[in-house]
């Protein structure tokens, strides 16, 4: 198998792990915050989505690099 | 790799259709919808305000009516109370008058009765005196020769009578 | 009755691979090629194949080459590697799957290609549909007075969508002068959402991978870039080129301004990549799951049948997930555009603690 493909696969996996950890932590904190302050649910949810999108953006950069390596 | 290279033709068509869609929607689509939604929101707010106003007016009217009713009831109670008071007073007055009248009548009757009794007593005394004189005269005419001794005796007797009476 | 229905559906699912296997026993199935072919663009809109006979929609090819000028013909002529007016679809090389023109010296040249490809056609159909839906809603409102009853059905849905986006997303994210950006953000949201949803419909009018194409995402991100920067306030530009940091960080070598400027560019770039990668990945996953059925044909009846069941179940699950993602990506694109616009709009200096 081509070395580039292996590299791309490993890279995609690492990017997925990173994004998974990041989004998981955001989700956990957001749920906790909502549990503590149910009246602020809307604000927390919006900020959660923004931060999750930022984390995901970094992961997507990694995915793009993987595509380039493929 | 090929997926990451934007095709110039696709960019061109996308730009064209997106700009057309944007212009059309930004001019004839969303402003109309937003304006309609806003104006309906205002209309609903105004309607709610009007309804609240009407509710308040109705509440005022209702409370006014209740106040009137309360007043009328109060007044009725007062009138009734006054009437009963007046009645009581009249009855008491009448009773008092009747009582005093009765007492007056009784007193007058008692007075009259005592006066009559006095008169009767006076009369009876006089009569007794006359009778006693007459009786004594007749008795003494037989026993006593002279007039003086007769009179003295009579007087003494009368005094005795009076004394017994006084006692 | 209900149980009978369930059983017959399962039987049908089990039978499907037999039929598929019976029809194309000779050709080896290439999953990667199929998935990439469906995700990518093509000059004709393939709908289905019935035992060697293809059902497809031919689309116009519009090409301008510096050597031979304008060409405009139906993609029917290019099918099965055909060559027409010196143009053909390259089977190999750098421009694989694209139209190339054979030069005099035997090399291939890529001409300016303005063809109405599958993606462009899908884009047109979806744009038209979007125009019909939104302008129809607008017409509904125009025909009615203020005191008419609230809308039901589709118009009611649009109203909920529009008012919740404006009140829940655009107003809080941008701030006081949000009004000038409302039409753009709503257009972007509806455009992306409709294209995403149409992409999930597997047959003809839908099914084109429009938002999962980088060119489409590029244009959308560029539009957001313009919206962010053309209306940026002075404070925003000062923050970019003369930020409030120690002077040595910006005078000899403009270090921080450089970073800030890169940030200005990466924001829309991240928007583009996010939309493109999410939608493309969704299509790829669903198609891969479907391909599992055809890949396992050669592994025998038992494996193939069980894998078919698994594949259908997973496809149903992925389709549900993609419905969510279709909405979420439209929402996130709009939300982040609104947030970036709001950041560029901030004219008050940040309060000092």
Hey, are the CB atoms on A50 and C335 less than 8 Å from each other?
yes
Q: Residue A23: which CATH number? A: 1.20.20.10
Q: Is the pLDDT of residue A30 over 60?
A: yes
How many cross-chain Cβ pairs, B to C, lie less than 8 Å apart? 123
Note down the domain range covering A9: 3-69
Nearest to C227 by CA among C173, C150, C160: C173
Within-domain flag for C35 = no
Across the interface, do C127 and B21 touch by the CB < 8 Å criterion? yes
Q: What is the pTM of this model?
A: 0.74
DSSP per-residue letters across B77-120: HHHHHHHHHHHHHHHHHHHHHHHHHHHHHHHHHHHHHHHHHHHH
d(CA C59, CA C120): 10
Taking an 8 Å cut-off on Cβ atoms, the answer to whether B3 and A68 are in contact is no
Confidence of residue A63 (pLDDT cuts 50, 70, 90): confident
Same domain, C180 and C66: no
**Domain-embedded: residue C18:** no
In this structure, the answer to whether residues C206 and C297 fall within a common structural domain is yes
- Segment holding C56, helix H or strand E: strand C53-58
pLDDT band at A62 (very low <50, low <70, confident <90, very high): confident
Residues in chain C, overall count = 353
Contact C206, C320 (CB under 8 A): no
**Residue C25 backbone phi and psi in degrees, to 5:** -80, -25
Helix axes C255-295, C2-23, angle to 10 degrees: 90
- Do C76 and C210 belong together in one domain? no
What is the number of structural domains in chain A? 1
Q: Please state whether C216 falls in left (phi above 0), alpha (psi between -120 and 50) or beta.
A: alpha
Under an 8 A CB cutoff, do B1 and A64 touch? no
How many domains does chain C contain in total? 2
Alpha-carbon radius of gyration of chain A: 16
Token pair listed for B90 = 């009249």
Residues from chain C contacting residue B13 (CB–CB below 8 Å) = 114, 116, 120, 123-124
Q: Are residues C67 and C103 in the same domain?
A: yes
Q: Measured between alpha carbons, how far is C3 from C7 in angstroms, rounded to an integer?
A: 6
Is C104 within a domain?
yes
B 3-22: CB under 8 A from A: 3-4
Rounded CA-CA distance C60/C117 in Å is 8
Chains with ≥3 CB–CB distances under 8 Å to B:
A, C
DSSP tag of C151: P
| Average confidence (pLDDT) over A15-23 | 90
B46–chain C nearest CA distance, Å: 11
Are C110 and C253 part of one and the same domain?
Answer: no
Question: What's the ipTM?
Answer: 0.84
C203 & C74 share domain: no
pLDDT tens-digit readout, B80-92: 999 999 999 999 9
Indicate whether C127 and C97 sit together in one domain: no
Q: Are residues C200 and C227 in the same domain?
A: yes
Instruction: Supply the DSSP symbol for C68.
Output: T
Is C68 found in the same domain as C205?
Answer: no
For residue C273, give the nearest of A49, A50, A64 by CB distance.
A64
**Mean pLDDT of each 10-residue bin along chain C, 353 residues long:** 60 52 55 80 82 82 84 82 79 78 77 87 93 91 81 87 90 86 93 93 84 91 93 84 78 82 87 88 87 85 89 91 90 91 72 40
- Shortest Cα distance from B62 to chain C (angstroms)? 30
What confidence score (pLDDT) does residue C18 get? 47
With an 8 Å Cβ cutoff, the interface of chain A facing chain C consists of: 42, 46, 49-50, 53-54, 56-57, 60-61, 63-64
B117, exposed or middle or buried, with CB in 10 Å at 0-12, 13-18, 19+? Answer: exposed
Note down the domain range covering C83: 60-115
Check whether residue C71 and residue C219 sit in a common domain.
no
pLDDT for res B145 = 63
pLDDT tens profile B106-128: 999 999 999 988 888 888 888 88
Q: Is residue C138 part of a domain?
A: yes
Tell me which chains share at least 3 CB pairs under 8 Å with chain C: A, B
> Are C199 and C128 contained in the same domain?
yes
Tell how far CA B60 is from the center of its chain: 31
Question: Both C97 and C243 in a single domain?
Answer: no
């Amino acid at each position: 198998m081509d070395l580039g493909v292996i590299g791309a696969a490993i890279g995609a996996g690492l990017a997925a792990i990173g994004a998974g950890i990041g989004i998981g932590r955001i989700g956990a904190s957001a749920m906790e915050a909502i549990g503590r302050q149910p009246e602020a649910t809307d604000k927390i949810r919006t900020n959660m989505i923004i931060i999750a999108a930022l984390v995901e953006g970094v992961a997507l950069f990694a995915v793009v690099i993987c595509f380039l390596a493929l | 790799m090929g997926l990451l290279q934007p095709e110039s033709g696709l960019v061109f068509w996308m730009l064209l259709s997106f700009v057309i869609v944007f212009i059309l929607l930004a001019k004839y689509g969303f402003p109309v919808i937003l304006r309609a939604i806003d104006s309906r929101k205002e209309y609903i707010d105004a309607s709610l305000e009007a309804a609240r106003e009407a509710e308040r007016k109705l509440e005022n009217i209702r409370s006014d009516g209740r106040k009137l009713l309360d007043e009328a009831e109060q007044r009725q109670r007062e009138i009734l109370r006054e009437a009963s008071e007046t009645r009581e007073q009249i009855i008491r007055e009448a009773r008092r008058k009747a009582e005093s009248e009765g007492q007056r009548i009784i007193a007058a009757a008692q007075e009259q009765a005592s006066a009559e009794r006095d008169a009767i007593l006076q009369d009876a005394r006089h009569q007794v005196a006359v009778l006693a004189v007459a009786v004594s005269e007749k008795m003494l005419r037989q026993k006593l020769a002279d007039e003086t001794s007769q009179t003295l005796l009579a007087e003494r007797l009368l005094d005795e009578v009076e004394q017994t009476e006084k006692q | 009755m209900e149980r009978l229905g369930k059983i017959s559906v399962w039987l049908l699912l089990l039978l499907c691979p037999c039929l598929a296997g019976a029809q194309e026993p000779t050709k080896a199935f290439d999953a990667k090629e199929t998935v990439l072919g469906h995700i990518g663009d093509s000059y004709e809109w393939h709908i289905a194949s019935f035992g060697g006979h293809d059902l497809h929609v031919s689309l116009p090819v519009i090409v301008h080459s510096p050597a031979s000028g304008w060409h405009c013909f139906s993609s029917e002529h290019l099918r099965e590697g055909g060559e027409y007016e010196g143009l053909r679809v390259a089977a190999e090389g750098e421009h694989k799957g694209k139209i190339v023109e054979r030069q005099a010296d035997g090399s291939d040249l890529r001409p300016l290609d303005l063809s109405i490809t599958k993606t462009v056609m899908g884009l047109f159909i979806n744009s038209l549909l979007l125009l019909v839906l939104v302008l129809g809603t607008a017409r509904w409102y125009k025909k009615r007075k203020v005191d008419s009853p609230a809308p039901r059905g589709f118009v009611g849905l649009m109203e909920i969508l529009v008012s919740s986006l404006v009140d829940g997303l655009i107003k809080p994210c941008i701030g006081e002068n949000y009004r000038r950006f409302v039409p753009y953000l709503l257009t972007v949201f509806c455009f992306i959402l409709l294209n995403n949803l149409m992409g999930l419909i597997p047959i003809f009018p839908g099914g084109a991978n429009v938002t999962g194409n980088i060119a489409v995402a590029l244009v959308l991100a560029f539009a957001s870039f313009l919206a962010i920067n053309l209306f940026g306030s002075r404070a925003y530009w000062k923050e970019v080129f003369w930020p409030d940091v120690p002077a040595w960080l910006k005078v000899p070598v403009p270090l921080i301004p450089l970073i800030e400027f890169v940030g200005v560019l990466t924001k829309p770039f991240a928007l583009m990549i996010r939309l493109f990668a999410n939608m493309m990945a969704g299509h790829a996953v669903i198609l891969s799951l479907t391909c599992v059925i055809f890949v396992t044909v050669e592994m025998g009846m038992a494996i193939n049948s069980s894998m078919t069941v698994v594949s259908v179940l997973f496809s149903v699950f992925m389709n549900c997930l993609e419905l969510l993602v279709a909405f979420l990506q439209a929402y996130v694109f709009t939300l982040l555009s609104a947030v970036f616009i709001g950041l560029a709009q901030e004219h008050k200096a940040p309060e000092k603690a």
